[in-house]
Structure 1
Amino acid sequence: KRLSAAIVDGIRDYFHAQPPPGTWLASNAKPRAREHVVSRGETLSLIAARHGVPLAQLRSANGLRGDMLKVGDRLRIPLGPG
């Protein structure tokens, strides 16, 4: 069940982040902060790269001083570089 839920979450996050042109998702897309749940083996720098945001901005958005994460942590993903 956890694997299937993770797959569904990943697909949903992908299409919400990059809605195909001409689709309902694209026409109703609203700029918003996203959330990422940390999985085993993920690092802060990997998560920042996947979401296309600078590492320092990801740290700042989540009040982090270092790179320590735990599985299950919820991170706020800023809208983009800036």
Structure 2
Amino acid sequence: MSTFLSYVVVLGILVVVGLPSFVGHLRDRAIDRQLRDAERPMARTAVRAEPSIVCGRLSGQKSSSRSTEPSTAT
């Protein structure tokens, strides 16, 4: 029984020492994957729609149709 307990203790020490290194390695691989995906050109964002102009205003503009007047307050 003493030999089995010694094996378990040694295995536990190896896990405690090696686990942080293994977790860090997995995290680095995930970051590398994110960087690789970010460097890859995205086909969907390459096509950009130009805003259309209607009556001198952008069609997607959300402001009112009234023109603004400068403030006369001094």
TM-score where L is the length of structure 1? 0.25
The structure with the largest alpha-carbon Rg is 2
- Larger RCO (CA within 8 A; separation ≥ 6): 1
TM-score where L is the length of structure 2? 0.27
In terms of fraction of residues, the more strand-rich structure is 1
